[in-house]
Structure 1
Amino acid sequence: MESGDDEALISKENEDPKEDDAKTNVKNVKKKDEPAVDEAPGPPKKPAPSKRCLIAAVTVLGIVAIVAVICAYTLEPRDDDGNVDGAGDSRLKIDELARRLVVSHNGAIVLRGRIGRDLRTNDPIVDDASDRRNATWTGEANLVVDRVNMSDARAACFRVHWTATTRETTSLADSYDLSEANWYGGAETHKPAWPLETNASRPAGAFTSGDLYSNPSAYGSVLQPIWLSSVGVVIAVNRTVPLFVGFDGGSMRLEARLDPLAYPNYEGILELSYMLCVHDDLRALYDLVVETFFERPTGTPDQSLFERPIWSTWAEYKSNVNETNVLQFADDIIRYNFSFSNIEIDDGYSSHYGDFDFDSAKFPNASRMIETLHSKGFNVTTWVHPFANVDSQAFKEGLESQYWVKGSRETVGLVSWWNSQSSAAAVLDVTNPEAAAWFIERLEKMRSHYGVDSFKFDGAEVSFLPDVFSFDQMVGNPGEYSAMYADVAARFAPLAEVRVGYFTQHLPLLVRVMDKDSRWDLDNGLHALVVSVLTLSVMGYPFVLPDMIGGNAYDPDDFRKTVCPSGYDELFVRWAQATALMPAMQFSLAPWNSRCLDSSVLDPVRKAVQLHERFGSYIVDLAKESALTGYPIVRPLWWIAPTDPQAQLVNDQFLLGDDVLVAPVIRPKETIRTLYLPAGTWIDGNDGTTPFEGQKEIHYKAPTELLPFFVRKDSKAASLVT
């Protein structure tokens, strides 16, 4: 970080910029009255001789002189009366000629950017008017940089808005240096980095949701074009932008690009619009982000989902599920003395993919089976998705009514997904209100006919749409498709779950982390699970559902086959421990599965479940708090130590609320866990008495049956430890 700046600053004290609120995703922004559009402009202002400027005069018809001023220019945030907000002392300086942008806060530079990376010309015409900066690169693009008044006097927000001036401009790009801070957010990825700059090498790709299993280089199912930094800066891109994001050499590239494959429905002139906001530190910044860019949850998932594990038939039975083994699975859960909330009947129960029914050959009396499960205390959910294979009745009905996403020829666009042959399925067009209503009606019929309680909603990533897709409604950014699908899922709250998210933090749904492999490391293993949960949490999704305990145990060549890796017993136990103090636990491969696991895992896994149950009411209280505040349930260490540089780097620990610190063992054969405690007095969660003073690293004995965790002294959580 650098303080000061070697160039002169120009300050303005005029009214707020007047940008249409529809062009941003900003909430609660105060604006003043806009001057009349036809107000006669005043004469050009003469720049002070000490400023570095370029004056260009062009005589038109020998009578009218148009003067353009190009110079270093600074915007300062002001209160509603137009006074400079001295408390925040935040400034944005832009130099169009050098194509540089600098943001400072409290006298220190907190962000450096290079703007207009793909522009061909270098002769901007600048209109230094009102309280905005307007620059035009003739024949290419126009840039408006202005400020937005905020209710928090210590915060400042600046809007950067590019507009192409010709359809020949197909790319607008800015880049920002990440090297002087730690960065978080954006999207779930296959090999996640925390902070982002620790693995910031990724070619610019479409910032749209993808299935990380079929394409590990994609962005994941849950994504949000918002990035936070440790020096109190957030970059928040408008949700409508056809965005490409890349990382290289310590910088992040933000690019709006006309791309007929990634954004085939984007129409009109190309725009790149985003906000740069600053605050004092990460915690203050997060509050600003919640207030400005997120919506708080409208409710919470069912309390039982936080208190007791979810059990899925997927990994245990794959698609060979039937009535007999579902009932046996339930009986075994009880017999082995495990608690439960939902039992999810996953892949393989329906007659055809796309039909919401039970295959009568596999389930002779599905209604009676579900009654039996209810009598044992289980909630029952079934796995559903937006796909319909061409041999299903749903495909035929949807085809007649034009309920499927269209392809390039305005006919149904046939797609491939993990349960279809090549180009042998259609995908529901949830942008069509009639199609969405039809989908909901069919789910309601299944619920009333069989007695199921709710559904596990899978799919709906943009990567599963046709190569060139067309929606019923004009949706320029296909992320809105995923958001609409999540809205449909929310109709079946509070027991429903979904695995996609795009500006859908407000929905009272469990949001599932993408499938994880049965391995330890950051390459989609247990360590990656911890980072993914942290990433979704800071993206504003509090009700995170970790993936199945132990991973999916996939055969590398056939996901329908189960292959348990060497040392799986230890991995399974450590995975159960890692999720014990997360919002929810989810089992799929049974802890008593003798093909993969030794019976010795039962006791430590059961102990992990009992720990989760003990903290169940604490988690429920945190969920209720999330609905009020927008705060995540799982929090990074910097949440309580925002200026602690070591806390900002920790990617293998997390907080449950403010008062429980969890340090799961994520490496094989590790029995001494090196971990970091932030400032404060912490009590060993395993004995309830031993104190540790924080802001230092400790070495903790962690035999296989023990999860290292700590509670803040004299907190509510301290009463929950033994």
Structure 2
Amino acid sequence: MGMQIKIELLDGEYWWGGAVADGIRMPFGKQEFNRQLNPALTPNQANPILISNKGRFIWSEEPFDFAYTENLLEIENGKGDIQQGEGYRNLRDVYKVVQAKFFPSAGQLPEPLMFTSPQYNTWIELMYDQEEEKILEYAEAIVANGMPPGILMIDDNWQEDYGVWTFHSGRFKNPKKMVERLHQLGFKVMLWTCPFISPDSAVYRKLLAEDLLLKNEEGTPAIRQWWNGYSAILDLTNENAFAWYKQKLDYLVENYKIDGFKFDAGDPMYYKDSDISTVPTHANGHAEMFAKFGREYRLNEYRACWKMAGEPLGQRLCDKLHSWGENGLGSLIPNGLAQGLMGYAFTCPDMIGGGEYLNFLSNSENLDQELFVRYAQCSALFPMMQFSAAPWRVLDDEHFGYCLEAAKLHERFGNEILHLAKHAATTGEPIIRHMAYVFPEEGLEEVNDQFMLGDEILVAPVVKKGMTERSILFPSGTWQGDDGSMIQGPCQQLVHTPISRLPWYRRERNN
């Protein structure tokens, strides 16, 4: 057992931090809640930071567990020293202090195209059938349907095997030519990769002989079950393993002109504190090493992370269901806001419509076209937006048209989003911001269904089925709507939200 700390909650005190997947439960402090970060077992980003709207913080360099009970925050099971601070004015003040002190910005931006154009992932259309001709068909269809080209991610199973990071010769006749064509169409190209190595393979035997694999406590290679079977894992604390992996990916960059990589898996749940590695660490530390690897490539994406806030890494929310609830569309805003308040500014919601493929099969009767459109609208003014299921295939013309408008809106805001991303790269401030972050005195701590893009743009997507009007909380100021309306805040207003509309408002600056 590590040290235990008990902190009495102040009147009206709300807290954020810990694990991004808990964004739907934030702010903490009103209901009982507990989270284990030692190890962090959620399939998304985490950071050992807790901050409150009353200007208090908790930080440790190592994992800890925490619980909110009636009027108390309890910290226990910490692996290292717990640091506490107080006396800051509000949520924004305390965030900026902890950010500068504990996870300062690296001063670098990921690939700018991630912010200025939509992303497209081949997963839902192709699944494990990642094939040259089908990838080209998908890309050509994006452009033919008037969607803005951007980043194209070729997902899992383009490769020969896990750890054999070469194009599968049966499915790719001329990958170099394929990438050339994708570039001509206006795309930058990413390939899926992970830190796993298929056992019973020549690569496994080579890495075993060179002592580059993670070992379990018995001293034999750790073989772990994950969603695609059982695999060994690279020991990325070993600089030779790091160099081996980098050499494999650099070959793809140099030989095929691949632009970057989607780094999947590497979650703390696939490691154990008892694992033996070249540099001793815990389960979360191995996830951290995998994320450090991604800094080698400007175009990257992660879904699981530990303590890598402030780094130039694209951070996607974990896979969501095709649903309106807390495991689907309802989680995008609260969890996206949580990412920002933990220092992960370069955030992307999950694939539009949800990453669960079963609803998008050609015979699926479960597809909700309204939900798909609202997913696209909710994503449009996030730092990034990502399509996977082809909207022109799964939707009728009307609903596809609304998705196209959302994609074009994102593109239209591209330079403004990029400007905020550059600001985040130097200051660490979130790109999308909690209402209470921008307006700390206005009692907006529990607002989780609208957000600020920077300090000037209020975005209020529809996240409930069948809603053709929604209530928006307007803070102080004059707000000009996407529909031309002018609203004087602070006030609460019911606004008209037909399926064609994503309500957003710009704050008028007094000259």
* TM-score, reference length from structure 1: 0.68
Q: How does 1:74-473 map to 2 (within 5 A)?
A: 170-178=1-9, 180=11, 181-189=13-21, 192-202=24-34, 205-210=36-41, 219-236=42-59, 238-240=60-62, 242-249=63-70, 251-256=72-77, 271-420=80-229, 424-466=230-272, 468-473=274-279
SS at match of 2:277: coil
Aligned partner of 1:527 among 312, 330, 334: 330
Q: Which structure would you say has the larger Rg? A: 1
Taking a change above 3 Å as real, the CA distance of residues 385 and 563 of structure 1, as seen in their structure-2 partners, is farther
Q: CA deviation at 1:178?
A: 4.2
Q: What whole-Å deviation, never above 9, does each CA across 1:676-707 have from its counterpart, x for those lacking one?
A: 011111011233xx210112211010000100
Does the 8 Å contact 2:468/2:499 carry over to 1?
yes
Q: CA deviation at 1:438?
A: 0.7
Q: CA deviation at 1:272?
A: 4.2
Taking a change above 3 Å as real, the CA distance of residues 276 and 598 of structure 1, as seen in their structure-2 partners, is same
Range with greater deviation from structure 2 (574-583 or 285-294): 285-294
Q: CA deviation at 1:247?
A: 3.6
Q: Look up the equivalent residue of 2:376 and give its one-letter code.
A: A
**Structure 1 CA distance for aligned equivalents of residues 106 and 368 of structure 2:** 37
Number of the residue aligned with 1:665:
462
Q: Look up the equivalent residue of 1:246 and give its one-letter code.
A: A
Number of the residue aligned with 2:426:
628
Q: CA deviation at 1:710?
A: 0.6
SS at match of 1:552: coil
Q: CA deviation at 1:360?
A: 1.1
Aligned partner of 2:397 among 580, 593, 599: 599
Q: What whole-Å deviation, never above 9, does each CA across 1:614-642 have from its counterpart, x for those lacking one?
A: 11110111111112211111001112211
Q: Look up the equivalent residue of 1:433 and give its one-letter code.
A: E
Number of the residue aligned with 1:691:
486
Taking a change above 3 Å as real, the CA distance of residues 487 and 191 of structure 1, as seen in their structure-2 partners, is closer
SS at match of 1:694: strand
Q: How does 1:24-35 map to 2 (within 5 A)?
A: none
Does the 8 Å contact 1:226/1:235 carry over to 2?
yes
Taking a change above 3 Å as real, the CA distance of residues 601 and 392 of structure 1, as seen in their structure-2 partners, is farther
- Extract unaligned runs of 5+ from structure 2: none
Q: How does 1:558-637 map to 2 (within 5 A)?
A: 566=366, 568-594=368-394, 597-637=395-435
**Structure 2 CA distance for aligned equivalents of residues 378 and 182 of structure 1:** 43
Q: CA deviation at 1:561?
A: 7.0
Q: CA deviation at 1:172?
A: 2.8
As a proportion of its length, which structure holds more helix?
2
SS at match of 1:356: strand
Does the 8 Å contact 2:2/2:80 carry over to 1?
no
Q: What whole-Å deviation, never above 9, does each CA across 1:121-177 have from its counterpart, x for those lacking one?
A: xxxxxxxxxxxxxxxxxxxxxxxxxxxxxxxxxxxxxxxxxxxxxxxxx34322334
Identical aligned residues as a percent:
31
Does the 8 Å contact 1:256/1:272 carry over to 2?
no
Taking a change above 3 Å as real, the CA distance of residues 392 and 449 of structure 1, as seen in their structure-2 partners, is farther
SS at match of 1:679: strand
Q: Look up the equivalent residue of 1:662 and give its one-letter code.
A: V
Taking a change above 3 Å as real, the CA distance of residues 696 and 312 of structure 1, as seen in their structure-2 partners, is same
**Structure 2 CA distance for aligned equivalents of residues 624 and 517 of structure 1:** 31
Report the RMSD for the aligned CA atoms in angstroms.
2.2
Does the 8 Å contact 1:653/1:663 carry over to 2?
yes
SS at match of 1:235: strand
**Structure 1 CA distance for aligned equivalents of residues 71 and 363 of structure 2:** 39
Taking a change above 3 Å as real, the CA distance of residues 414 and 231 of structure 1, as seen in their structure-2 partners, is same
Range with greater deviation from structure 2 (383-392 or 332-341): 383-392
Count of residues in Structure 1 that have an aligned counterpart in Structure 2: 510
Taking a change above 3 Å as real, the CA distance of residues 207 and 681 of structure 1, as seen in their structure-2 partners, is farther
**Structure 1 CA distance for aligned equivalents of residues 362 and 52 of structure 2:** 41
* TM-score, reference length from structure 2: 0.95
Does the 8 Å contact 1:580/1:612 carry over to 2?
yes
**Structure 1 CA distance for aligned equivalents of residues 164 and 197 of structure 2:** 7
Q: What whole-Å deviation, never above 9, does each CA across 1:596-654 have from its counterpart, x for those lacking one?
A: x3332111011111111111110111111112211111001112211221x11100111
Does the 8 Å contact 1:200/1:250 carry over to 2?
no
1:501 counterpart = 2:305: yes
Taking a change above 3 Å as real, the CA distance of residues 177 and 567 of structure 1, as seen in their structure-2 partners, is farther
Q: What whole-Å deviation, never above 9, does each CA across 1:407-452 have from its counterpart, x for those lacking one?
A: 01111111111111xxx31111111111111111111112223321
**Structure 2 CA distance for aligned equivalents of residues 562 and 389 of structure 1:** 32
